[in-house]
Amino acid sequence: MAEPTFLPRASFQTLLDALARAGYRCIGPQRRDGAIVYDTLRGPEDLPQGARDIQSPGRYRIERPDGPRCFAWANGPQALKPFLFAPRESLWRSERDAGSAINFAEVRPASEPLAVIGARACDLAALKLQDRHFLEGPFADAAYGARREQLFLVAIHCTHPADTCFCVSTGDGPRATDGFDLALSELDDGFLVQAGSEKGAAVAAQLPLEKSAPAQRDAAEREIGAAAQKQARRLPGRNLRDALFANLEHPRWEEVAARCLSCGNCTSVCPTCFCHSESDRPSLDGTVSVHVREWDSCFTQGHSYIHGIVIRADTRTRYRQWLTHKLGSWHDQYGRSGCVGCGRCITWCPVGIDITAEVAVICSAEFGVRSAE
């Protein structure tokens, strides 16, 4: 890849302008309701300049703004997932005509060209997994596909991992290596810019880019390296399938179930979880019905309900299902673990259950006992 070029901070607006000219609605990070969330970016002033986050199991806070940087924080609750795999959407509708026949009609998926600014390496790794699930099987998902096709990704190399991050141990970060259109390294006075696709190069060609200095490139590299060094959490191995399935009766499942709320927050914030439920929403007069898909979770009763039976009625079996699927049987389904080390399930668990600590105990016989930091 060509040497990165430099975009002065004062020229950041030109990136938004170039994306707008290319027809994209720009989505970027901003502060809202005590967190950094993704929403429509009207200008650079919407970015969370100076914001720093403090994350720990079950706790998230934003510190008082300080400094010029806009991306000096680790991921908030959202990932790319809600932009592609919609939390709720209509798939088709049926209508009874005058002759009492029922007609079925496709609902065109809501989609528009979106440019997301700020995606991290863990998000890009998760996106690859979601692509694999929704697009690469025998039945590609039209709604996801329509939105994925029109997505432009501006990645940011992560320099500020949270205490809950562990992407180094899953091999997914902190450097964004591929899967982006543009990748940026944020420095105090601007951004190093690197194109990762033809679309990205076409946008970059419209920016007032300068040649980058070796000192700038070194600084950016150092920060990415430091971000990797800083991570204290880790999973004991990349493939835990055999270790987990050898421990289905481990007493720890019962112990974690006593703490777990079975609320589904972990799976909702997980950038790779894709479970959903479908239901029909008839109009009151009974002439029209819409078939709706919405996010579900292996922590709900409905998830394991079949023909009058709930297969996983208790929290022990639900938590075990989540972990053994995510870190175990994903290897069979998708050729890798379903965890990208983003740490969201740790931060956004209301009671602060730490997946790395649970796994360390459950797989201790296979991987050696290791106390959780």
Partner 1 sequence: MNAKPKIAVHKFASCDGCQLAFLNLGEELLALAELVEIMHFAEAGPVNLDAQVDIAFIEGSVSTPDDLVRIQKIRANTRFLITIGACATSGGVQALRNLADGREWIASVYAQPEYIESLATSTSIASHVKVDLELWGCPVSGRQVLAAVRALLFGVAPVEERDKVCMECKRTQAVCVLVAKGVPCLGPVTRTGCGALCPRFGRDCYGCYGPAENPNTEALGLRFAGLGLLPEQIARRFLFIDNAAPVFAEAGARWRSAADD
Q: Which stretches within 57-174 are classed as H helix?
A: 81-84, 121-135, 142-149, 167-170
Per-residue x/- track, 325-364, partner 1 (CB under 8 A):
----------------------xxxxxx------------
Kindly tell me which residue out of 75, 78, 212, 272 binds partner 1, with binding defined by CB under 8 A. 78
The pair of three-digit structure tokens given for residue 13, joined into one six-digit string: 């607006």
Kindly tell me which residue out of 302, 311, 365, 373 binds partner 1, with binding defined by CB under 8 A. 302
Residue that the structure tokens 């493939």 belong to: 239
Q: CA torsion 74→165→338→355, rounded to 10°?
A: -130
Strands 288-295 and 276-282, how do they pair?
antiparallel
- Closer to partner 1 by Cβ: residue 23 or 302: 302
Number of residues that bind partner 1 (CB under 8 A): 48
- Closer to partner 1 by Cβ: residue 70 or 260: 260
| Gap between the terminal Cα atoms of the chain | 38
Contact, 267 vs 273, CB < 8 A?
A: yes
Nearest 5 degrees, angle CA 351-CA 352-CA 353? 100
Report 258-297 residues binding partner 1 (CB under 8 A).
258-265, 268-269, 279, 281-286, 294-297
Contacts of 360 (CB under 8 A, 6+ apart): 236, 367, 369, 370, 371, 372
- Closer to partner 1 by Cβ: residue 86 or 204: 86
- Closer to partner 1 by Cβ: residue 137 or 302: 302
- Closer to partner 1 by Cβ: residue 36 or 204: 36
- Closer to partner 1 by Cβ: residue 268 or 324: 268
Least spacing, CB of residue 298 vs partner 1, in Å: 12
From the list 55-63, 105-113, 151-159, 237-245, the region that binds partner 1 by CB under 8 A is: 55-63
Contact, 135 vs 85, CB < 8 A?
A: no
142-149 and 121-135 helices cross at what angle (nearest 10)? 140
From the list 63-71, 172-180, 244-252, 308-316, the region that binds partner 1 by CB under 8 A is: 308-316
Which residues make up the interface to partner 1 (CB under 8 A)? 32-35, 37, 58-61, 76-78, 82, 87-88, 258-265, 268-269, 279, 281-286, 294-297, 300-302, 313-315, 347-352
